[in-house]
Structure 1
């Protein structure tokens, strides 16, 4: 009897999570020892409901759609799994003759990956993690699939907003990016600059405490110099005490929901400086946009999906597929197997060397690191005023 495989998605989707699904299905077809390939509908909660859908035999046309479909084609969840749930999962996998378990997600999902592997010890069940997060905060890897497309999105819309503000330079525009605890996406807005003086004119990441006085001083200077100012900020800006600069608007259990940082700062500029200001918050548009999908990101998502199948078939377990850069001028990656306990809930922040000394910008070193991930160049524009 052939052994079956399941794929579980966890946490927020990305523009390329389904590309990893494509890679998994494509690779699974090449291994006779794999029987059915099940997509778990609705993440870890779907396992407990035994909501398995066979996806290994979909048509080539449907396969190709996975490469350009946003969200998760099998659904995801943030279900709070208990120790008892993990034990139940083992029994469910055995019931359905599942020998290979693949989990695609971020820090929380890799934590679940490690716990499922421990629950399945003693059984011939092989558990492999696939990295996925727009936040790029998974440890032990250079970058995660999903990040580059979100980075490309924030860079391109910042370039477009910059042209608009330059055309009518009468206000401060504050763009809020996703990434509550890590500033990788926010920093990527710097790729919008074609030349010195282009937007963004300030970048605020959560790795630096927000200083209201310094912020307002710098905004005032930029406004007096340019007339129109573009600021990109992280949704997770904190004060010197580590508290959000925006008061919470709703609490439920351990979850706290804050107001928009960009709206708070725009109102601050209006109130304290008397300057017209507005805010823009793309929110999940930044992780759902297929039109801004990075080709490199898509290809690497397919790659880690395929590598996960290969690792599982070779009976590796309790590991995550890594993405690391090879040395040399040409951009190439390797996919080492990383022990899952090196990854579980370790959060990777933007390093100091990527943040300017004054905390209001990003260094050239970060942009050199980022450039090959974006795939295509940021579009050029023309402006007859310059």
Structure 2
């Protein structure tokens, strides 16, 4: 009987293991799959033939995947060349693997597509299906991708908590840095922290909009005079009008870019130029590794994506990625669709203009309405008495 193989690529998320759970659970329903192998350590693990049959894992351990962040089977950013892809095709044939699944973002979908092409070139009969995963929400064609909802929830909840702290002691400017190299979806999600009672974020800066340093300082100074405390959310990938990062990357290999601290840079600008107390906060990987802020909807859709991929492969689909299409109506509903892998290979989806405010440092209500259901249950509410009328003694 034929076997299956699943691989994780790129940065983990809070729900990538939920997709793994969905895939394994679905595989148990198909007796035509004898072994469901996981590559332990990403794409390079295929070349090393480091496999674990997930059909032998006890059910109680599989259930823990639903609440485990990171990647339970390991992931990687292995650089692969054409000879590597041809060798991967030969390894697939050697182990009688008929179904291959890649879980990941743009880079992993590129790998998925190249494995599909290599198997065709080498003459290996295999069905290859991609499972979307990204906190950055930058995979094209699909409405959104599993992983983003939880990262968005983390950013909204964290911004709300910091806003309450700053409102309680309004003496400084707090700048929160959000992940997002070229796409501002995570930074934008901080807008859902607002309760309508004057809390932050006060300013949101996205990489899609050229950063104007002088305007930033003027806006911060104005808001500080009005409110005392100011909350700013800035994407790690901010660029100036010249297209260059406002903080030079400290390390770069291929698509992997490690930026300097944008939040620290902006906080230092506020201190030096305006003489206002400022501090920076950089949650970093905490935002993608937080099981505590996992969105239930995100988790459920991740399970669905994994299960749908296995069903599609068994039914003969090849060279596709599972995507989500939002259905019309007042209540959120989405259906899975199969997208040709060529349409998503390294095609980066950034924030559209209709989601970015005209002033360039906020988002529109259209974005808030689009994003809100992906966070799952409503974020927590808070109370302040500072806006209530004072008693006359």
TM-score normalised to the size of structure 1?
0.98
How many angstroms does 1:33 deviate by? 0.8
CA distance in 2: counterparts of 1:264 and 1:241, whole angstroms: 18
Quick one: structure 1 residues 253 and 269, their matched pair in 2 at CA, closer, same or farther if it must change by over 3 Å?
same
CA distance in 2: counterparts of 1:206 and 1:39, whole angstroms: 36
Quick one: structure 1 residues 384 and 350, their matched pair in 2 at CA, closer, same or farther if it must change by over 3 Å?
same
1:273 is aligned to 2:274: yes
CA distance in 2: counterparts of 1:252 and 1:182, whole angstroms: 19
* Poorly superposed stretches of 4+, deviation over 6 Å: none
How many angstroms does 1:242 deviate by? 1.0
How many angstroms does 1:123 deviate by? 2.5
Quick one: structure 1 residues 4 and 149, their matched pair in 2 at CA, closer, same or farther if it must change by over 3 Å?
same
Q: Could you list the per-position Cα deviations for residues 238-269 of structure 1 after superposition, in whole angstroms to 9, with x for gaps in the alignment? A: 01111100123345678653310000000000
**Partner of 1:78 in structure 2?**
77
**Partner of 1:301 in structure 2?**
302
**Partner of 1:314 in structure 2?**
315
**Partner of 1:339 in structure 2?**
340
Quick one: structure 1 residues 300 and 174, their matched pair in 2 at CA, closer, same or farther if it must change by over 3 Å?
same
Report how many residues are paired.
Answer: 385
Q: Could you list the per-position Cα deviations for residues 69-119 of structure 1 after superposition, in whole angstroms to 9, with x for gaps in the alignment? A: 010000000000110000001110111110100000000000011110011
Secondary structure of the corresponding residue to residue 288 of structure 1: coil
**Partner of 1:186 in structure 2?**
187
CA distance in 1: counterparts of 2:249 and 2:88, whole angstroms: 36
Unaligned runs of 5+ in 2: 388-393
Q: Could you list the per-position Cα deviations for residues 251-310 of structure 1 after superposition, in whole angstroms to 9, with x for gaps in the alignment? A: 567865331000000000000000000000000000000000000000000001000000
| Range that drifts further, 68-77 or 122-131 | 122-131
Q: CA RMSD in A?
A: 1.1
Q: How does 1:355-374 map to 2 (within 5 A)?
A: 355-374=356-375
**Partner of 1:111 in structure 2?**
110
Quick one: structure 1 residues 367 and 256, their matched pair in 2 at CA, closer, same or farther if it must change by over 3 Å?
closer
**Partner of 2:391 in structure 1?**
none
Quick one: structure 1 residues 256 and 114, their matched pair in 2 at CA, closer, same or farther if it must change by over 3 Å?
closer
CA distance in 2: counterparts of 1:49 and 1:91, whole angstroms: 12
CA distance in 1: counterparts of 2:61 and 2:274, whole angstroms: 54
Q: Could you list the per-position Cα deviations for residues 115-134 of structure 1 after superposition, in whole angstroms to 9, with x for gaps in the alignment? A: 10011113321100000000
Q: How does 1:114-263 map to 2 (within 5 A)?
A: 114-121=113-120, 122-250=123-251, 256-263=257-264
Quick one: structure 1 residues 312 and 241, their matched pair in 2 at CA, closer, same or farther if it must change by over 3 Å?
same
Quick one: structure 1 residues 232 and 335, their matched pair in 2 at CA, closer, same or farther if it must change by over 3 Å?
same
CA distance in 1: counterparts of 2:154 and 2:259, whole angstroms: 23
Unaligned runs of 5+ in 1: none
Quick one: structure 1 residues 300 and 242, their matched pair in 2 at CA, closer, same or farther if it must change by over 3 Å?
same
Quick one: structure 1 residues 53 and 325, their matched pair in 2 at CA, closer, same or farther if it must change by over 3 Å?
same
Secondary structure of the corresponding residue to residue 231 of structure 1: strand
CA distance in 1: counterparts of 2:32 and 2:323, whole angstroms: 24
Secondary structure of the corresponding residue to residue 376 of structure 1: coil
CA distance in 2: counterparts of 1:147 and 1:31, whole angstroms: 30
Secondary structure of the corresponding residue to residue 34 of structure 2: strand
CA distance in 2: counterparts of 1:279 and 1:201, whole angstroms: 15
Q: Could you list the per-position Cα deviations for residues 328-381 of structure 1 after superposition, in whole angstroms to 9, with x for gaps in the alignment? A: 222111111100001100000001111110111111100000111111111011
Quick one: structure 1 residues 246 and 382, their matched pair in 2 at CA, closer, same or farther if it must change by over 3 Å?
same
Secondary structure of the corresponding residue to residue 120 of structure 1: helix
Secondary structure of the corresponding residue to residue 302 of structure 1: helix
Secondary structure of the corresponding residue to residue 218 of structure 1: helix
| Range that drifts further, 326-335 or 366-375 | 326-335
TM-score normalised to the size of structure 2?
0.96
Preserved contact between residue 132 and residue 321 of structure 2 (Cα < 8 Å): yes
**Partner of 1:51 in structure 2?**
50
